[in-house]
């Protein structure tokens, strides 16, 4: 088994500057997703759960303008809640917890720019030569969040919902089983401001950083 891997900026430096498309070892090799429509769906789980945890489904669509750059829209829905220790503290105190990082995502919608600097093909002693690539992404949009609020002593916790802006960045790996189907796994860090749960806190509740691990499939079609 051999692995042909290429960083685009070094492509024309191979063997004295030859066009890599003409090199025998690279003939038929995937050079990114240029000119292709990408559709994906993934399951999402929390990578680190501080006070809350979110499980959901995300998806998106994108278009690759070049071998390096693609843009897309993305979104998702989440369920979940507070971790056990926070639930125990809430029941014990019977009042609102004076803590930040209690706002969890319920949904998000936004756009990303995806940069794919490394791609290649795994060559077996057969006609099956699956491709792979590594990518980084950055983007933003709007997010709906929810936080449990206890009105007062003996009160029942209620959800406080809000909508705000978010930014995210991350990186991922795609393994292309065949030309139009790939396994997609990625890490995303979402950053969004918290709406204050306390009327006296005019500065808001802080900034939440939610780390999610996504795993699913991507479908790719030439346009």
pLDDT in tens, the chain (223 residues): 545 555 554 444 455 555 555 555 555 554 567 889 999 999 999 998 888 899 999 999 999 999 899 999 999 999 988 887 777 777 776 666 677 778 899 999 999 999 999 888 776 666 677 888 999 999 999 999 988 776 555 556 677 888 999 999 999 999 998 889 999 999 999 999 987 655 444 445 678 899 999 999 999 998 8
Residue-level pLDDT at 119: 81
Residue-level pLDDT at 202: 42
3-state DSSP: the chain helix, strand, coil percent, rounded to 5? 10, 60, 30
- Reported for 58-62, long-range contacts at CB under 8 A and 24+ positions apart, including other chains, are 58/214, 58/216, 60/112, 61/37, 62/37, 62/38, 62/112, 62/114
Residue-level pLDDT at 195: 73
Residue-level pLDDT at 20: 54
Q: Taking Cα atoms as reference points, which of 121, 116, 112, 113 lies closest to residue 32?
A: 116
pLDDT tens figures, 112-148: 999 999 888 776 666 677 888 999 999 999 999 988 7
Rg (CA), the chain: 22
The partner residues of 168 in beta bridges, in order of sequence, read 139, 190
**pTM of the entire structure?**
0.79
> What DSSP designation does 12 have?
G
């Amino acid at each position: 088994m051999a692995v042909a891997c290429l960083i685009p900026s070094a492509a024309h430096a191979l063997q004295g500057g030859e066009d890599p498309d003409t090199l025998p070892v690279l003939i038929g090799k995937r050079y990114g997703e240029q000119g292709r429509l990408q559709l994906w769906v993934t399951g999402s789980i929390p990578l680190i759960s501080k006070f809350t945890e979110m499980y959901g489904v995300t998806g998106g669509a994108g278009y690759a303008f070049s071998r390096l750059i693609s843009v897309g829209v993305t979104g998702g829905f989440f369920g979940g809640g507070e971790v056990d220790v926070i639930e125990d503290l809430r029941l014990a105190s019977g009042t609102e917890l004076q803590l930040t990082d209690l706002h969890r995502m319920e949904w998000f919608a936004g756009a990303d720019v995806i940069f794919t600097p490394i791609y290649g093909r795994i060559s077996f002693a057969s006609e099956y030569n699956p491709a792979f690539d590594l990518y980084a992404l950055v983007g933003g949009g709007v997010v709906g969040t929810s936080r449990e609020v206890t009105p007062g002593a003996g009160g029942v916790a209620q959800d406080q919902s809000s909508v705000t802006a978010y930014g995210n960045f991350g990186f991922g790996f795609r393994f292309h089983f065949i030309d139009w189907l790939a396994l997609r796994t990625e890490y995303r860090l979402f950053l969004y401001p918290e709406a204050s749960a306390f009327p006296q806190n005019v500065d808001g509740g802080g900034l939440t950083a939610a780390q999610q691990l996504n795993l699913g499939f991507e479908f790719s079609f030439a346009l």
